[in-house]
Structure 1
Amino acid sequence: MAHRYYQRFFASTSKASQPAKVVATAFRVPVTAKKDKAASQVDAAMKANNLVGSVAVIRAGKLTYLASRGQSKYPSGAKNTSATRYQIGSAQDLITAASVMRLKQAGKLSLSDKLSKYYPKVTNAKHITISQLLNMTSGLSTYATAPKTNSFPTLLTWNENNAVSTSTGSCDYQAINYVLLAGIIQKVSGQPYREFIQAQLIDKLDLKQTGFVLDDAQRNKLATSYEDSYSGGKVAVTGMAKLQSTKLGPYQMYMSAKDLATSYLYILSGKMISKSNLDKLIGHTQSKFSGGVYPEDGDILVHGQLGGYQDSIQINPDKKNGVILLTNYVPTGIKNTDTAPIIYNKVFK
């Protein structure tokens, strides 16, 4: 797969019959030889709160502990492991946002660009900037039911035609913002969104448990997502294709906890984009939502869900300490805004 993408993206001027060069890995997450000193607290916190999934602990920029709990297939299937793959939901927002900043850094777009430059049909597009899309302050939303589709162009057209605009300025998390940003990445880079991410992140970091969920065959290779039934038992979430199609493009990725930790460290360490551009992206301490994350007291928080999958992340970019939790089941009463902080507070507070 990497060989095919390399030929397509980096060797377009050479003949396909020529041997492809090996893409040098841009970043590998440093892994410590010893188990994190708080490993037992991580295990205890997961067990006490009945947390299921895979957790990665980052200390001083190094991966110090990976742990998994629960089953990827319930009730009698395989257990979750460090290689288990989960759909990451809105944890993909930072990846999309950093990709926009990478294009900005290359001089191909400006954060002050108006949406009308790319999607003139969107209501109020002349008054909405890329910066506002990044920070969910565009005032855009959609109320109609999105089509069930595997076609990103179809969904982009649907969002363009069904966008509803309210007053801009206040933060309101709406998927349309990042769907349109993925479309802008396509227009500016000249590549489909998925292929841009493949070339700029997945191949560069040599991520082995990362990709895009495009059909049921691929979806079945992931941990099955579950939710509590009314009787208290676990039931597999149905209709995942429909849930995913409403956010097709920037909400398709699956990852293992280690791959997600690697991706976030790559971005937050200023290697994918410069530190000055990183600060412009997530350094708005007064913003509720900034470039794919929620800034809070020096930390960044990420929390999202897609069906029964949930992601919960808390990282201190300065100290490079953090917890990343990917799960395929969260018990009733536990919010995804709480799960990573529960572990983080045990380890770092």
Structure 2
Amino acid sequence: MRPLAILLLCLAPLAAHAQTDPVPRMQQIVANYTNDKSFMGSVLVVKDGHTLIDQGYGSADLEWNIPNSPATKFRLGSITKQFTAASILLLQERGKLSIDDPVSKYMPDAPAAWSKITIYNVLTHTSGIPSFTGFPDYRTTEWKDTTPAELVARFRDKPLDFEPGTKFNYSNSGYVLLGYLIEKVSGQAYADFLQQNIFTPLGMQDTGIDSNAAILPQRAQGYRRSPRGIEHDGYISMTIPFSAGALYSTTGDLLKWEQGLFGGKVLKPESLAKMTTSFKDGYGCGLFIRDIDGHKLITHGGGIEGFNTSLNYYPNDKLIVIVLGNLTGGAPDMIATNLGKAALGQQVILPSERKAIDVSPAILAEYAGTYRMTDAPIDNVIAIKDGHLTTKLASQPALDLFAESETKFFLKVVDAQIEFFRDPATHAINRLILYQNGMQHEGRKQ
């Protein structure tokens, strides 16, 4: 449920040169993260129906020295959202609701400010409802068991962030609201609806709504890195993430989900098409739809105390990459990205393979300044420190940049590069491009 930043700081990147058999290089990719203690978890990669990797790494429980395995259960965080979205679309197929209806049709006591918000707006994060996980009191209320109605009460009377349908803004409140609506419309508890309509039909026996009190065999403990080393991450009542992030599962069960969802076993073709069609900013219904180096990718990640996860489907390549981690940080996303590249025969270059060169102080001075990122309302501040450049994205720490050419720089702590460009007319530096995860993010110099 934690928001994602463009530049992930806790990653120790790995890559490899493509080869005919990608598996050895893929194992090396994962090993780089396990060796520097930035990843523990389970990985499953399947291409054309053939399993390339199906393995656990590190510990499910450090105190008992129990290793992770393909059977280990992990909290999923926001991967939950696609299950919620599919449930809403199932209810539409059964005539119980329409995603084009206003939320107020199924919630008569909805605030007046919500009158123009449709269910589709909520599905696509375009409702304008502020995310309660960003409220100042959120961290002090994570521990308390809470009902769906009490969760909705936390944000129902807050002003909207924008006019519904006009912008994209990731909102955990919206997906909590969808779970609340599922219960009201279906007459079932959210957990029961998922069990009856998705988990049981697909044979997903190791998936469910997590509970702090339940005895759950083969459940991973959630950890974080700190100056003291690896330690248990904080406590959260699993009633809080609810339909926005409360599921647990295994890599094997998520494979069943991907094969079932995209194999037509869950939704009708028109519903699946709606779910996987971008509305704004590359988001459909519970899923991001992206183009990565010419390959279509349908994806979502998750982050919740002690866990980060990444679920990825390349439909045209028949490739599924699942990375579930029980150590807080961005490693699962980076592992998944690089495993996808390796499986597709693409080259992945290690930052350690890049050779740093010297660039004159006068040229570095031209690059220094503030760049407003065009795909997010945040600044990337480029500064000079001890004769080299640093990059600082929003509130994140400043990171060192190393020149590999006069205009292109790379980071060592993260697999990302920044390239500077001049205005053709004035020859002044006017923009940069951040390259990461197969995507490009432009920043305009202020």
Task: Give the structure-1-normalised TM-score.
Answer: 0.81
Partner of 2:360: none
State the distance in 1 between where 2:136 and 2:241 align: 13
Secondary structure, aligned partner of 1:49? helix
State the distance in 2 between where 1:287 and 1:123 align: 27
Partner of 2:410: none
The answer as to 2:191 corresponding to 1:165 is no
**C-alpha displacement of 1:285:** 6.8
The answer as to 2:120 corresponding to 1:131 is yes
State the distance in 1 between where 2:283 and 2:113 align: 21
AA in 2 matched with 1:166: D
AA in 1 matched with 2:65: G
**1:189-204 map, 5 Å:** 189-204=186-201
Q: 2:283 aligned to 270, 285, 289, which one?
A: 289
The answer as to 2:324 corresponding to 1:342 is no
**C-alpha displacement of 1:276:** 1.8
The answer as to 2:47 corresponding to 1:52 is no
State the distance in 2 between where 1:123 and 1:60 align: 50
Partner of 1:266: 260
AA in 1 matched with 2:28: A
Q: Tell which structure's C-alpha radius of gyration is larger.
A: 2
The answer as to 2:213 corresponding to 1:216 is yes
State the distance in 2 between where 1:162 and 1:37 align: 56
Per-residue CA deviations over 1:99-154 (Å, capped at 9, x if unaligned) read 11111112221111101112343352111111111110111113363544434334
State the distance in 1 between where 2:49 and 2:281 align: 25
AA in 1 matched with 2:159: V
User: Which runs of 5 or more residues in structure 2 are unaligned?
Assistant: 1-19, 347-446
Q: 2:26 aligned to 42, 45, 55, which one?
A: 42
State the distance in 1 between where 2:319 and 2:119 align: 30
Q: 1:122 aligned to 75, 95, 111, which one?
A: 111
**C-alpha displacement of 1:250:** 3.8
Per-residue CA deviations over 1:264-295 (Å, capped at 9, x if unaligned) read 22112222001221111112275432111111
- Greater RCO, 1 or 2 (C-alpha within 8 Å, sep 6+): 1
Partner of 1:238: 234
State the distance in 2 between where 1:295 and 1:106 align: 26
Partner of 2:321: 323
The answer as to 2:263 corresponding to 1:279 is no
Q: How many residues align?
A: 309
Task: Give the structure-2-normalised TM-score.
Answer: 0.64
AA in 1 matched with 2:113: N
State the distance in 1 between where 2:206 and 2:70 align: 10
The answer as to 2:163 corresponding to 1:179 is no
Partner of 1:99: 87
Change over 3 Å in CA distance of 1:179–1:138 after alignment to 2:
same
Contact between 2:33 and 2:331, CA under 8 Å: does it hold in 1? no
Contact between 1:101 and 1:273, CA under 8 Å: does it hold in 2? yes
Partner of 2:309: 311
**1:73-84 map, 5 Å:** 73-84=61-72
State the distance in 2 between where 1:202 and 1:103 align: 16
AA in 2 matched with 1:347: A
State the distance in 2 between where 1:221 and 1:250 align: 23
Partner of 1:145: 137
Per-residue CA deviations over 1:227-271 (Å, capped at 9, x if unaligned) read 11123x100112132xx3432244221101110121122112222
**C-alpha displacement of 1:223:** 0.5
Secondary structure, aligned partner of 1:313? strand
Contact between 1:194 and 1:212, CA under 8 Å: does it hold in 2? yes
Q: Name the structure where helix makes up a greater proportion of residues.
A: 1
Change over 3 Å in CA distance of 1:269–1:286 after alignment to 2:
farther
The answer as to 2:194 corresponding to 1:205 is no
AA in 2 matched with 1:318: N
State the distance in 1 between where 2:159 and 2:86 align: 26
Contact between 2:146 and 2:240, CA under 8 Å: does it hold in 1? no
Change over 3 Å in CA distance of 1:325–1:337 after alignment to 2:
closer
State the distance in 2 between where 1:309 and 1:326 align: 8
**1:241-252 map, 5 Å:** 241=237, 244-252=238-246
State the distance in 1 between where 2:123 and 2:114 align: 14
User: Which runs of 5 or more residues in structure 1 are unaligned?
Assistant: 1-35
**C-alpha displacement of 1:162:** 4.4
Paired-residue identity, %: 24
Per-residue CA deviations over 1:14-69 (Å, capped at 9, x if unaligned) read xxxxxxxxxxxxxxxxxxxxxx9533232211101223211111212555531111
**C-alpha displacement of 1:335:** 4.8
Contact between 1:171 and 1:288, CA under 8 Å: does it hold in 2? no
